[in-house]
Structure 1
Amino acid sequence: MIAMVGFVEQGFSQAELAPWGNVTGVRKQGQLLDFETSLQYIKSDGIQILTTERERQRPVYSRNGNRQTVNTNLDSLYFEETLTESGGEKAELSIKLNAHSDTTLIGAYFIVRIPKKYHNEAQFGLTDADQPLNINNLTTAPVKERSASWAKGFEFKSANFKIKVSGKEQDSILVRKDENNGDLLVYFTIRTKAIKRGEVIQKTYKLEADGEVDKSAVVVTLNSSRQGRAFEGLGGNFRLQNPTDPQVIDYSLANLRLAWGRVELPWRLWQPEKDGNPLDAARENRLPAKIIQSMEMAQRLSKMGIPVILSAWSAPDWAIVGTQNLNPVNGVWGNPLNNDVITDIYRSLSRYITYLKDNYGVEVKMFSFNESDLGINIRMTAQEHADFIKGFGSYMNTKGLKTKLLLGDNSDATTSAFITTAMNDAAARPYIGAISFHSWRGWDTETLKKWADAATQLNVPLLVGEGSIDAAAWQYPVIFQEPTYAIEEINLYTRMLAICQPASILQWQLTADYSPLAGGGIFGDNGPLRPTQRFWNLKQLSLTPPNLYAMLVSSNKTEISCAALGDNSKGIYTIHLVNNGADRQMTLKGLPAKAQKFKVYVTNTENNAKESGSKKASNGQLQFKLPVRSYITLISE
């Protein structure tokens, strides 16, 4: 079976191309046969190695039917990759290298990585090679120390996986093992030694992959005996940045049940001068338009009964140390607050919160500085974060404000150490209303569990303050319409529901930025405004009845992610499932006696949060077929 590309029937094969240029595998009947390609530039010293990967370049991704194109660069070497369904049962990857300067190098390579899990009893051979190669004798020696063979490509076969990659002519090919994990690495040489400015090199490779598809039945087991933290429902971010924001906001608020909202405090505009009083500007109707719009956004959410988180991304010049740093300098982002004027800082922020309360009727639930662990764009140490929570929390108390502080609001799940100082400071705890992290990175179970444990320790809610999966996706927004992005995003949300037990996952964003809608001029798409598969995933998640409690649930297949929510006293239960593979039969076990009948909702490339009838349980079990590559929700009636 050869990789086929594009929006094809889910039962066929389909190559998956990441927007930074790496083919990540082939889907056969929905199941991923995973391998990975990449481009690599090894500089002349043999030490500096640049490779295409997530958030390392600034690629441009586009799709035209069954043709996907990525333009990116590794330093002065600019690449255009095009993955195309070439007809019949073949897929083709073309690579064009354009040198923007005279360059000496060890080499520029197209690499195919074959995971170690496939290596048992594997056969490997170079095609039309000038000399044989035994993969059992491979070492992890670096490329610069290896000799190349001349061949057209290679074939790899094991018990349950096959891959063949070939060029149009013989090429210099090197093969080695990854020193970190033992994966097999095949290097197709694009250029070695030197390349002149303006020189263009083109290569074309055919990709073929096949493997066993696991359609065996899956068993999902619910344990409703213990109730964890409550899931209040889906939330959303409403930071206003684009003229096309209003239509997305209107559509989202009209079609989604939201439990939390997060808006911006445009602090730099609120009080640009330390000795100025923004309340004077407000009384004289001199507040900037963005301030008014942000306050009205908070008011709109509040009137709908949605609690509001207020976050500041950047600070006025008088409130920070150094010159405003909106881009990293020597790898360091943002600016620390100026502790010499900390009382003025408290006063400025509290005035905004008070003005929202008195003039817009908004009682701000939580306040945070956005991603201060990283410095987007206010930077804090863990101790400074703890001190600010204590200081500002106490100050707001003296002003009669009920607003609490978010602990964290971190850039990623990986930076949980940032919150430990405040967690261990008894003086900070009274002012912590919830813990928050953003889900851009750190998706392994062990990392996510640290946040669940922190919320348990402090006995406060956990919020995923920004939910999504690719912080660089604004550079290639066409990816938001790809089914692969949609299923990966809801798969992470399902896992976080099960592992983290959050009170809410706040989508980044329910505006035109990272929009779950397409058209209407968003990202240059002038077609009609319309929901994408991502929106229907959010719609389906928002159907979860409010304030159900996390319950233990497990699947005996890694391709099936699952989360369970319920309330034993009310006899209401919701099960979220993501099938990341082929269609298969599922048995759901452990259902309480009260759970007799479930409505079933399905979202995939063919169904939009579609209610697919009801399923009846028998003897605590329910059986039905999971559709291929789908998000499925069961809600008890």
Structure 2
Amino acid sequence: MLSIKYRLLTLIFFLFTAYAYSQPQVTAWGNVTGIRKKGQLFSFETSLQYIQNDGKQILTTGREKQRPRYTRNNNAQTITTNLDSLFFLETITDNGNGKAQIDVKLTSHIDTNITGAYFVIRLPHPDFSQSRLMFNNNKQPLDWKVLSSNSLKNMPATSSGSFIYTSPATQLRVKTENKDSILVRKDAQTGDVYIYYPILLNHITKGQIVNKSFTIEVSGLVDKSSINLVLNATQQGRSFAGLGGNFRLQNPTTDPQVIDYSLENLRVAWGRVEMPWRFWHPDLHIDPIQNAKAGKLPTQVSKAMEMAQRLGKMGIPFVLSAWSAPNWAIEGTFHNEPVNGIWGNPLDAEHMQKIYVSIADYIIYLKDNYGVEPKLFSFNESDLGINIRLTAQQHDDFIKGLGAYFQSRGIQTKMLLGDNSDANSYTFIYPALNDAQARKYIGAISFHSWRGWETSTLQKWADAASKINVPLLVAEGSIDAAAWQYPAIFQEPDYAREEINLYMRLLSICQPASILQWQLTADYSPLAGGGIFGDNLPLRPTQRFWNLKQLSSTPAGLSAMPLQCNKADVSGAALGNTATGTYAIHLVNNGSTREVALTGLPNNATSFNVYITDKENAFKLLGNKKVSNGQIRFKTPAESYISLFSSK
């Protein structure tokens, strides 16, 4: 039964998410990736581009390319960003019924010559045989053949710079009152077509301000046909322990409330904590254990150990990760930011044996004084250098060296292979993966889910785990590593849905033992209020939290099962245990309201409780569905996360 506090926070969640969110799908860096009608996304993509004076150097808005600021005011989303010396204020306003207005204000901070600053629209993958592009209501469409790859075709200046793009399923109309020439380009590699609206050409003076406005409208067919899911319960894959969480302590004032709330209200199956190595052993010539016994244990270390202890006492296995090393253990001068584009510091090979001793001493002290021992050890994102940098071969050598030393000290902790910055850098794990001597020390494989979402890339991690028969962990789960810079994005339904949508794909393709949310602290918090990111309203769960609550309600003891789906805009994952007759089916509907037909259910699955989380519902029970002839049917609302848990 929910406590009064829990019910109050649920009510607050509804109060702060009940207002209408806009139909435009907007990134925090200002690119509009489509407009929704009745839940269905009609996709295209806008961007701002700055082509410098040589005509070759092109700066464009994109993920992790700038440091934007993002805010929302009712139905308007505002992004402040810059491309070099050109500063932009972009406001995207929902005008309803598939329409959005985009206002762009450009301010120059220097006098300079430029080729041009542009508002750019990428058309949604034209099928040139069935698509038409017409400018200014002309009856004659553009001949696609005149577009040579990667060159700009100049359309003449007109009284109204508008165009209409039509395909079998979509119509995209863009209007502006600006009397400017429009440029068109076809990408040589993708075949995508780009429309360039000039904001300013040739020369700009310091302090000069230019304003442009554009109206975008979409229409087309909304797919309301049935979602067909087919479960294969005869094939059982790797086990899913459940949702996990990161507990790296960074905000002493606001972290505790988020940690408490998360551990009280989520079933957390795995954890990850920091080893503050730089504070544990700053001076090579001082024994850190003796220093700690003398009452000189730094606060950063004691708090991190207490966090590990808390997880251990709850029976939650945890990863111990070091982000940075003491100065004596690294080459060069320690730095948090990249130097000449290179992150992190290599370990000092001359001190490698002392490095092994220092890390092992930490674990021994943690076990002796706090009663817990980590399941796994890693350096955080050492493939990239945040902040310890290793080569793939050094990573292999370190696993063998520290793994053997752990064994010599009686430490049960195993090594975590990878813990990579994203899925793209999979070759980093290959030397150790193919090294028979290293395998005996590897307890699991890990990557972080910030990038590398292609199915073929994710499959490489699943294959790696299968190859050496160890669990796979997504040790940092989320979708935007830079989101801490624009935290208002965390409360957007689109962000919440895209995050859980990725988790469904990870569950289905990678079959991880756990996805560890980054983080279950105030950093990237799934809660709002309580002073987090300057929000002094009462602490409350956001839609992201309820997504995690729903996923964490997956029963323990289940393994991945294949789930086929006939819709590209639906992501699903199935888990089950045929011996106990326990099953969990998760799906994210990224489209319109539709019927769902789930078939292939085994005889020992007789009924399912159906739950929903979306911008209007917080882990709400929709009802119980009885299984008939191995199938059930139900309706899924637009843009929703649905979970089915078997009931007896």
SS across alignment from 2:285: coil
Q: For 2:72, which of 52, 58, 63 is the aligned residue?
A: 63
* Mapped partners of 2:18, 2:318: distance in 1: 42
Q: CA RMSD in A?
A: 1.8
SS across alignment from 1:356: helix
Partner in structure 1 of residue 435 of structure 2: 425
1:521 aligns with 2:531: yes
* Mapped partners of 1:189, 1:474: distance in 2: 32
1:124 aligns with 2:137: no
1:329 aligns with 2:350: no
**Contact 1:13-1:29 within 8 A present in 2 as well:** no
Offset of 1:119 from its aligned partner? 4.3
SS across alignment from 1:248: helix
TM-score for both structures, normalised by structure 1: 0.96
Partner in structure 2 of residue 169 of structure 1: 178
Alignment of 1:262-341 (within 5 A): 262-341=272-351
Q: For 1:54, which of 63, 77, 84 is the aligned residue?
A: 63
1:233 aligns with 2:216: no
Offset of 1:286 from its aligned partner? 1.2
Partner in structure 1 of residue 410 of structure 2: 400
**Contact 1:67-1:82 within 8 A present in 2 as well:** yes
**Contact 1:7-1:66 within 8 A present in 2 as well:** no
The one-character-per-residue Cα deviations of 1:246-267 (angstroms, maximum 9, x if unpaired) are 0000000000001100000011
1:614 aligns with 2:641: no
* Mapped partners of 2:506, 2:68: distance in 1: 29
SS across alignment from 2:353: helix
Partner in structure 2 of residue 458 of structure 1: 468
* Mapped partners of 2:637, 2:445: distance in 1: 36
Alignment of 1:481-496 (within 5 A): 481-496=491-506
Q: For 2:187, which of 171, 178, 190 is the aligned residue?
A: 178
SS across alignment from 1:388: helix
Partner in structure 1 of residue 9 of structure 2: none
Partner in structure 2 of residue 140 of structure 1: 149
Q: Which runs of 5+ in 2 are unaligned?
A: 1-15
Offset of 1:206 from its aligned partner? 1.1
The one-letter amino acid of 1:100's match is H
Q: For 1:583, which of 590, 593, 606 is the aligned residue?
A: 593
Alignment of 1:587-606 (within 5 A): 587-606=597-616
**Contact 2:157-2:179 within 8 A present in 1 as well:** no
* Mapped partners of 1:418, 1:338: distance in 2: 20
The one-letter amino acid of 1:491's match is N
Offset of 1:87 from its aligned partner? 7.1
SS across alignment from 1:586: strand
* Mapped partners of 1:475, 1:149: distance in 2: 39
The one-character-per-residue Cα deviations of 1:438-468 (angstroms, maximum 9, x if unpaired) are 0000111110000000000000000000000
**Contact 1:565-1:575 within 8 A present in 2 as well:** yes
* Mapped partners of 1:100, 1:446: distance in 2: 44
* Mapped partners of 2:126, 2:620: distance in 1: 37
SS across alignment from 2:162: strand
**Contact 1:13-1:28 within 8 A present in 2 as well:** no
**Contact 1:128-1:152 within 8 A present in 2 as well:** no
SS across alignment from 1:363: coil
Offset of 1:211 from its aligned partner? 1.5
SS across alignment from 1:205: strand
1:204 aligns with 2:213: yes
1:98 aligns with 2:114: no
The one-character-per-residue Cα deviations of 1:65-120 (angstroms, maximum 9, x if unpaired) are 11110000111111010011357874211000010111211111000110224544
**Contact 1:455-1:461 within 8 A present in 2 as well:** yes
Taking a change above 3 Å as real, the CA distance of residues 130 and 95 of structure 1, as seen in their structure-2 partners, is farther
* Mapped partners of 2:64, 2:130: distance in 1: 36
Partner in structure 1 of residue 3 of structure 2: none
SS across alignment from 2:436: coil
* Mapped partners of 1:90, 1:37: distance in 2: 14
Partner in structure 1 of residue 572 of structure 2: 562
* Mapped partners of 1:84, 1:50: distance in 2: 25
- Percent identity of equivalent pairs: 59
Partner in structure 1 of residue 635 of structure 2: 625
Q: Which moved more, 1:148-157 or 1:599-608?
A: 148-157
Q: For 1:549, which of 559, 562, 579 is the aligned residue?
A: 559
Alignment of 1:461-540 (within 5 A): 461-540=471-550
The one-letter amino acid of 1:366's match is L
Q: For 1:160, which of 157, 162, 169 is the aligned residue?
A: 169
**Contact 1:267-1:315 within 8 A present in 2 as well:** yes
Partner in structure 1 of residue 222 of structure 2: 213
The one-letter amino acid of 1:438's match is H
SS across alignment from 1:168: coil
SS across alignment from 1:106: strand
Partner in structure 2 of residue 3 of structure 1: none
1:37 aligns with 2:76: no
Offset of 1:483 from its aligned partner? 0.3
The one-character-per-residue Cα deviations of 1:213-242 (angstroms, maximum 9, x if unpaired) are 001011100001111110000000000001
Q: Which runs of 5+ in 1 are unaligned?
A: 1-5
Offset of 1:569 from its aligned partner? 0.9
* Mapped partners of 1:195, 1:318: distance in 2: 51
1:27 aligns with 2:27: no
Q: For 2:256, which of 243, 246, 252 is the aligned residue?
A: 246
Offset of 1:500 from its aligned partner? 0.5
Aligned residues: 630
**Contact 2:37-2:97 within 8 A present in 1 as well:** no
Q: For 2:420, which of 396, 405, 410 is the aligned residue?
A: 410
**Contact 2:126-2:193 within 8 A present in 1 as well:** no
Q: Which moved more, 1:50-59 or 1:271-280?
A: 271-280
Offset of 1:154 from its aligned partner? 1.3
Partner in structure 1 of residue 445 of structure 2: 435
* Mapped partners of 1:606, 1:378: distance in 2: 43
* Mapped partners of 2:157, 2:120: distance in 1: 15
The one-letter amino acid of 1:194's match is H
Q: Which moved more, 1:266-275 or 1:119-128?
A: 119-128
Partner in structure 1 of residue 10 of structure 2: none
* Mapped partners of 1:634, 1:547: distance in 2: 16
